Structure 1
């Protein structure tokens, strides 16, 4: 959306950059807590909070790639041949932006998992009867002083493993995109 706004009108581009920069200026966790507190906890609140706090970084990357495509010679030639904006978006912008979007989205999953666990750990996320690694860690902290260290170890290891698996999967997809000529 931000990449399209940059091409539609300069004022719309400035407005989108202002919104994005203001979202990036606030600390993630504080913004997550604020959104969850406003929307209420639960699954929908956590999903909305994670979605609203993770899009700005990807939007900036896609905007920069859209600017690179916009200044390319083949796009200038396409416009001179009489093709419209819709044609250029379909056959030039989207194929160029798709690998970055896919990789960026997949690389956001580890952050989303960590932030969801952090919200649940702090009591702003999922309800106590719903399964969450953050809730498991919060419950286990009460028993660590009694020598039950494994109650913290295993949910922590599971969270670490899940985050690392998402990260490695995203990097494998990125290498696959770079190795093949998909676009």
Structure 2
């Protein structure tokens, strides 16, 4: 069966939307903190499309500000985590056996602990806040991608041109840069895109539980935690930030799969 060719247009369009959300969130960060008790607990309307919360703050503005923070944090954490996975995967696939065993032991140790529990522990030990959340995500999200990259490297090492390059005296760094990275790059990009929704989802989760960003920061996790006080008060619009977060996660998951399909299609053509 011939694979379906995918288009890069959705990727470009989504990137533009992300830039708009980030810029809007940064520009409206102060407005998202404005309190107006005369407008508290208002249902969605033309003046407040997402309604207002118990302090009269505009939920849409707070959602944009929260999504902006989540997107920036997710981009930074997933890129650094992806680079760590790339380095560790290449080292595991090319270094001596004892180094490979050591890296695999670290990966197994991290993956054996429930993800959210380890994330909370790291964030708590580092004082929570932005630094603790970012470091927790970086330290817990690189393992799966590193294992995929290691497998690709082990397969590439068996190719004839790699063995010829080794016999010609090329250094491991030259072989990795010239022969391995071009083949691994598509998996690396797809891995970062798929890491991104996990990063923002886990950031919101640990913030919701009180181990992430500070409560005065308008983030999706904080807004969802505040909305739990009104879960029986029919203030359904307070959960719209969570709906937006789920939508972003689903979109990026589909984007990652589309990118993977595109790269697979190009590889089959090549």
Query: TM-score of the superposition, structure 2-length normalised?
Result: 0.63
SS of residue in 1 equivalent to 2:152? helix
Among candidates 184, 198, 216, match of residue 111 of structure 1: 198
Q: Quote the residue 1:149 is aligned against.
A: 236
**How big is the alpha-carbon RMSD for the aligned residues of Structure 1 and Structure 2?**
1.8
Residue 179 in structure 1 maps to residue 230 in structure 2: no
Q: Quote the residue 2:120 is aligned against.
A: 33
State which structure, 1 or 2, has the greater radius of gyration over its C-alpha atoms.
Answer: 2
Whole-Å separation in 2 of the counterparts to 1:53 and 1:6? 20
Q: Quote the residue 1:65 is aligned against.
A: 152
Whole-Å separation in 1 of the counterparts to 2:113 and 2:179? 34
Structure 2 residue ranges without an equivalent (≥5): 1-86
Deviation at 1:162, TM superposition (A): 1.1
Deviation at 1:85, TM superposition (A): 2.1
Residue 18 in structure 1 maps to residue 128 in structure 2: no
Deviation at 1:101, TM superposition (A): 1.1
Task: Give the number of equivalent residue pairs.
Answer: 182
Q: Quote the residue 1:168 is aligned against.
A: 254
Structure 1 residue ranges without an equivalent (≥5): none
* Cα deviation 1:101-157 (Å, max 9, x = unaligned): 1111110111111100101110001111112111111100101112212212x0121
Deviation at 1:91, TM superposition (A): 1.7
Higher helix share: 1
Instruction: Tell whether the 8 Å contact from 2:119 to 2:140 is kept in structure 1 after alignment.
Output: yes
Whole-Å separation in 2 of the counterparts to 1:167 and 1:160? 11
Instruction: Tell whether the 8 Å contact from 1:6 to 1:12 is kept in structure 2 after alignment.
Output: no
Among candidates 95, 112, 131, match of residue 218 of structure 2: 131
Whole-Å separation in 2 of the counterparts to 1:131 and 1:77? 56
Deviation at 1:83, TM superposition (A): 2.9
Among candidates 155, 162, 166, match of residue 75 of structure 1: 162
Answer with 160-169 or 104-113: which moved more: 160-169
Answer with 73-82 or 40-49: which moved more: 73-82
* Cα deviation 1:47-66 (Å, max 9, x = unaligned): 11111100111111111111
Whole-Å separation in 2 of the counterparts to 1:132 and 1:63? 36
Deviation at 1:180, TM superposition (A): 3.2
Whole-Å separation in 1 of the counterparts to 2:200 and 2:123? 15
Whole-Å separation in 1 of the counterparts to 2:218 and 2:264? 37
Deviation at 1:30, TM superposition (A): 0.4
Query: TM-score of the superposition, structure 1-length normalised?
Result: 0.92
Whole-Å separation in 2 of the counterparts to 1:177 and 1:12? 30
Q: Quote the residue 2:78 is aligned against.
A: none
